Amino acid sequence: MIGILIGIGIAFFGFVLQTSIGGINRKIVGRLQKRHGPRWYQEFIDIFKLLSKRSVCHGWIFDFGVIMALGGIIATAMFMPVTSSIVAFENYDNFFIYVYLLAVGMLGMAMSASGSGNPWASIGVMRALTTMLAYEVPFLIVALTILNLTDYSSLTDIMLYQQAAGNSWFLIALPLGGIVGVLALMGMLGKKPFETYIAPAEIASGPMVEYGGKQLGMLFIMHEITVFIEVSLFVHLFLGGASSIVEFLIKYFIVYTVVNLISNVNGRFKIDQVVVFFYKWPLFMAVTQAIIAIYFGWVI
């Protein structure tokens, strides 16, 4: 019971954290482009404005999908450890839960978008799923390497393994895998050049085309928590996790900002280019890394 309360706390913390850091990043990107950028709490204003508005509904699956999306993501976030001691369900923070429970949320969103009846929403879903097929495989191969080396699949244990004396962070221990991790993280977050499925500045089509009001607001919340889960996953897997909350905040901020900065100096791939890209170098690097680390045992 107490675990569930902690879990809800973590999900809420994740939402607040990511929304704030997202806001700060908008400011940073603004400065990068010689603008002032919005205030750091602009994202909160956007979300609460949307939640307060009256909107339309295209049938029960449209609403049900949104609830399933947000619910699935909240559930995933509840399992996420923040530091090596702050974790809602000890021993149950299994790596595969994040990959697959996250998919429930995605499925909910996809279902809701298709349920709107707008074909452009379905096209957006198609792109999102195709992107997912592209980045997941290299990422999971690197994760397989890490799980095989540590003999743990619990995130807390992987974190503690990296923090133990004599072991370095997996970003350093597995340099090729680390690069793949960064690229996959950019894919997961939908950052340029892999942001084809949202492509906000160009086309109206995308999973979100039919949303407004509370549904869109809830999907925004879902998106913020998803980003929290994905960035935290990267921090815990590759950057040794965190032993204190300050350390976590610093690492989280750095990872998100760096990824965002890389994203902002890039163009955008077409969807098939995303697939070809991920199945060329990142997969090659991930497999090379796995063979080097598992079969030869060469780990820095």
Residue 165 tokens, joined: 């004396």
Could you please report the per-residue DSSP string of 8-51?
HHHHHHHHHHHHHHHHHHHHHHHHHTTS----TTHHHHHHHHHH
Between 141 and 242, CB nearer to other proteins: 141
Residue matched to tokens 């407004």: 212
Stretch that binds other proteins, among 28-36, 144-152, 169-177, 251-259 (CB under 8 A): 144-152
The answer to whether 6 contacts other proteins (rule: CB under 8 A) is: no
Phi, then psi, of 94 in degrees rounded to 5: -70, 140
Candidates 40, 120, 161, 281: give the one binding other proteins (CB under 8 A).
Answer: 120
For other proteins, which stretch binds (CB under 8 A), given 115-123, 172-180, 230-238, 252-260? 115-123
For residue 94, the SS3 value is strand
**Stretch of 15-23, 24-32, 113-121, 257-265 lying at the interface with other proteins (CB under 8 A):** 113-121
- What amino acid occupies position 269? F
Q: Is 160 in the site for other proteins (CB under 8 A)?
A: no
Rounded Cα distance between 82 and 10, Å, is 7
Restricting to residues 76-95, name those near other proteins by CB under 8 A: 76, 78-79, 89, 91-92, 94-95
Least distance in angstroms from the C-beta of 243 to other proteins: 21
Residues 271-300 that bind other proteins (CB under 8 A): 271-272, 275-276, 283, 287, 290-291, 294-295
Is 55 an interacting residue with respect to other proteins (CB under 8 A)? yes
Interhelix angle for 245-264 vs 213-238, to 10°?
110
